[in-house]
Amino acid sequence: MGDETIQFDPTAVEILRASMPHVPFDGWGEAALLAGANDYGHDAEAVLTAFPRGATDAIALHSRLADQSMVDAFLKLSERPEKVHLTIRKLVLLRLEIAQPDKDAIRRAVSVLAMPVNAKLSAKLLYETVDSMWRAAGQRDTDFSFYTKRGTLAAVYSATMLAWLADKNSNLDKTVGFLDRRLADVARIPRLTRPMRRFMSAGQRFAGTIVQRFGGRHSR
């Protein structure tokens, strides 16, 4: 997994991290990015170079950095869960724990990504997150389960993240309970496999389209 570490533009990362305290007040836009850049002695040209599409580039970088931090934190665990579903549970919780300090900024990011014009980016970032989780869990198969695993986890993770955003408590207790209920629901799906076979076949075709569009670097 170490050979898949992404190299990020260090100036972009520095500006982004310096901008995070400004985002809850100024939003994901030029004002926050310029304020962050100014904090580290960068000018407006550096912001434009690092984030040519402005807010969406910054949001995408933030998501990808969080994905990488999640994988790094998982790999550093002294003891990792042996069962796959517990591994996925741990990865989801690590992703949310990493995001906790930036919760207000992420709430604003979700609003930006919910805009119809950003639907493609939203789907791409979600795909990258769940793909990172499955790969960290050692699930690199490319058969039918490649699509179903990622589609299922995308639904679970999206719902859990929205529950996390709505949870005003400083801890993750309610979110953990929500995630556990969703994972329990998923565990019951195999009992329905036969009557759902035609539906899942259509789902595979749809997921295949998403993977072809967004999974370029992962579909080796």
Question: pLDDT band for position 147 (50/70/90)?
Answer: confident
Question: Residue 117: pLDDT above 80?
Answer: yes
Hey, is 53 helix, strand or coil?
A: coil
Residues of the chain above pLDDT 90, percent: 67
Mean pLDDT lowest for which of 5-9, 70-74, 90-94, 165-169? Answer: 5-9
pLDDT per residue as tens digits for the range 159-193: 999 999 999 888 899 999 999 999 988 776 544 34
Provide the pLDDT for residue 171: 84
pLDDT single digits (tens) 19-41: 999 999 999 999 999 999 999 89
pLDDT confidence bin for 144, thresholds 50/70/90: low
Q: Is the pLDDT higher at 120 or at 144?
A: 120
How far is residue 24 from each of residues 61, 71, 107, 205, measured CA to CA in Å? 17, 26, 9, 39
> In this predicted structure, what is the pLDDT of residue 2?
42
Whether 129 has a pLDDT exceeding 90, the answer reads: yes
Are 107 and 165 in contact by the 8 Å Cβ rule? The answer is yes
For the segment 117-139, the average pLDDT, to the nearest whole number, is 93
Asked whether residue 3 carries a pLDDT value surpassing 50, the answer given is no
By the 8 A CB rule, do 22 and 31 touch?
Answer: yes
Produce one character per residue of 121-130: b if its CB has 16 or more CB atoms within 10 Å, e if not: bbebbbbbbb
Beta-carbon contacts of 187 under 8 Å, excluding residues fewer than 6 positions away, are 85
Domain residue extents for the chain: 82-218
Least confident of 6-20, 145-159, 163-177, 182-196: 182-196
Cβ(36)–Cβ(18) under 8 Å? Answer: yes
Q: What is the pLDDT of residue 192?
A: 39
Amino acid 213: pLDDT: 53
